[in-house]
Amino acid sequence: MSLLHVINHPMVQHKLTIMRDKSTGSKDFRELLNEISLLMGYEVTRDIPLEDVDIETPICKMTAKEVSGRKLAIVPILRAGLGMVEGLHTLVPVAKVGHIGLYRNEETHEPVEYYCKLPEDIQDRLVIVTDPMLATGGSACDAITMLKAKGCRNIRLMCLVSVPEGIKKVQNEHPDVDIYTAAVDDGLNENAYIVPGLGDAGDRIFGTK
């Protein structure tokens, strides 16, 4: 069974509260999502292996630590997942970025694929899938299935707000994928929106409504 990591650091919770507030505009919403993504990135990358490297400081030689050969890829689910890339990139500037385009059909709430462009060596990388909202879980599950079809075996899911329904679906379909989230909300409304949630993440990031 995959692990659920709830990142309840006070700074993450504080910033999330401002994001949830409907009076917060797109500029602040985007900036806060960047900041939270960087903070969550600490936890998502917490167990990345280190190896010894010999260096010389201005004072003397030493054996220090560096992140070992295992490489990273960030894969946002378009559109809203894009809002979490910059924060992670600040933390891991050399990470490659793939893109998976999915949108939810407004009536069925089922994800529809419209784009997929991934780094050539994606199967050799630790892949962090980003999407602020884990609602029914359909989009996250489909994105992970697409990555596995490309040979990825080391995948983590980073979302901002999730609900038990979406968590359960990901854990059932992809028990090898750990989930990192800043909040587990109450559930879904009749339109499959997260309650209390923060509304439509893509529209709030890009100002489209």
Residues with a catalytic annotation lie at 104, 108, 200, 203
Which entry of ligand URA, ligand PRP, none binds 24, CB below 5 to 8 A by partner kind? none
| 145: Cα within 13 Å, side-chain hemisphere | 14
Which of ligand URA, ligand PRP, none interacts with 131 (beta carbon under 5 to 8 A by kind)? Answer: ligand PRP
Q: Return the bridge partners of 133, or none.
A: 161
If one asks whether residue 185 binds ligand PRP (CB under 6 A), the answer comes out as no
CB of 136 within 8 A of CB of 129?
A: no
Q: Which residues pair with 155 in a beta bridge?
A: 127
Q: Would you say 28 or 200 has its CB closer to ligand URA?
A: 200
Closer of 133 and 155 to ligand URA (Cβ): 133
DSSP class of 25: -
> What is the distance in angstroms between the CA of the first residue and the CA of the last residue of the chain?
38
Q: Which of 134, 157, 160, 161 touches ligand PRP by CB under 6 A?
A: 134
> Judged by CB under 6 A, does residue 130 bind ligand PRP?
no
CA distances from 190 to 22, 46, 107, 122 (A): 20, 37, 11, 37
CA distances (Å), 82 to each of 89, 99, 158, 161, in order?
Answer: 11, 9, 12, 15
Instruction: Kindly write out the interface string for residues 6-45 of this chain, putting x where it contacts ligand URA by CB under 6 A and - elsewhere.
Output: ----------------------------------------
Q: Which does 197 bind (CB under 5 to 8 A by kind): ligand URA, ligand PRP, none?
A: ligand URA
Amino acid at 189: N
DSSP 113-181: EEEEE--TTGGGEEEEEE-SEESSSHHHHHHHHHHHHTT---EEEEEEEE-HHHHHHHHHH-TT-EEEE
Candidates 29-37, 151-159, 169-177, 189-197: pick the segment binding ligand URA (CB under 6 A). 189-197
Question: Which residues within the stretch 126-185 sit at the binding site for ligand URA (CB under 6 A)?
Answer: 133, 135
The residues binding ligand PRP (CB under 6 A) are 77-80, 102-104, 109, 111, 131-140, 166, 192, 200-202
The residues binding ligand URA (CB under 6 A) are 80, 133, 135, 193-194, 197, 200-202
